[in-house]
Amino acid sequence: MTVSEPMVQLKLTNPSQIHSFSHVLFSMEGAEFGNGHIPSYLVLDSIPDISKSFNLSFWFRVRGDNGKIPQVLFKAFNRNNPKEQLALWMSGFRVTGNLNSNRFSAKEFSKELPISRDFYDLPRLEVGKYYFLSVNKIDNTIQVFINAELYGEYKIIKDTNIVINSCIFGVLNTEGSYTNQLYGFLRNFEIYEQPLSQDEIYSVSVKHFKEIQPFNDAFELSKFKIID
């Protein structure tokens, strides 16, 4: 299936096209974010405004998971109104996130309410394995796909308007502080000006799979490593 060209396309194997970054290493594995005391992040700061409906897709791999401290994969936001944001993170070996004031993991999407049963029912992901993540915003609905399979769908009633023109990867930045550090890798980040169908998401995922496959093969083999 032919998919329209992305409006933003970053391989993340080298720092070209990255507007700024701090303590991020680049290799064929992708952009590597550390878990030290110094924040590790990168910024994409001149995206043409997109709103209402769009798709963001990328490969990611985490190297550790502390369920009590979520690890941010990315936050896409409006630099003119930072409260408008779409963020995804790893927590408890699952992917979740927020759209503006709506938290996907909470009951009724409210930050004031406990975590919902639906969050705990999400499939757990393996530490050390690359996954392809694709997220659609379709008006007031967020769809999250993992490896081209629907992982979570969130139909939100209020506070869904957003304009995206900036992205930060690997941390949350709030009033000059950096928290929720990602310990892992990101690769092949793309933004599309319209949502993608499941078939289109699959087509996007296979574009770079040959480059990703050796890392996942090594991960699977490591499970059988004999330790003396």
- Average pLDDT per run of 10 along the chain, which is 228 residues long? 88 90 96 92 92 96 87 96 96 96 95 93 97 97 98 96 96 88 97 97 96 96 72
**Owning domain of residue 75:** 8-222
pLDDT tens for each residue of 125-150 = 999 999 999 999 999 999 999 999 99
Task: With respect to residue 118, please indicate whether it lies within any of the assigned structural domains.
Answer: yes
pLDDT tens for each residue of 71-96 = 999 999 999 999 999 999 999 999 99
* 1: exposed, middle or buried (Cβ count in 10 Å: 0-12, 13-18, 19+): exposed
Residue pair 49/7 in contact by the 8 Å Cβ criterion: no
Specify the CATH number for the domain of residue 144. 2.60.120.200
Task: With respect to residue 80, please indicate whether it lies within any of the assigned structural domains.
Answer: yes
Task: With respect to residue 2, please indicate whether it lies within any of the assigned structural domains.
Answer: no
Task: With respect to residue 227, please indicate whether it lies within any of the assigned structural domains.
Answer: no
pLDDT tens for each residue of 201-216 = 999 999 999 999 999 9
Task: With respect to residue 202, please indicate whether it lies within any of the assigned structural domains.
Answer: yes
Q: Could you give the number of structural domains in the chain?
A: 1
pLDDT score, position 65: 82
Is 0.85 topped by the overall pTM?
yes
Task: With respect to residue 46, please indicate whether it lies within any of the assigned structural domains.
Answer: yes
State the DSSP string of the chain. Answer: ---PPPSEEE--SSSTT-SEEESEEEETTEEEE--SSS--EEEE--PPPEESEEEEEEEEEES---TTS-EEEEEEEETTEEEEEEEEEEETTEEEEEETTEETTBGGG-TTSPBPHHHHHSPPPPTT--EEEEEEEETTEEEEEETTEEEEEEE--S----EE-EEEESSEEETTEEES---EEEEEEEEESS---HHHHHHHHHHTHHHHHHHHHHHHHHTT----
pLDDT score, position 228: 47
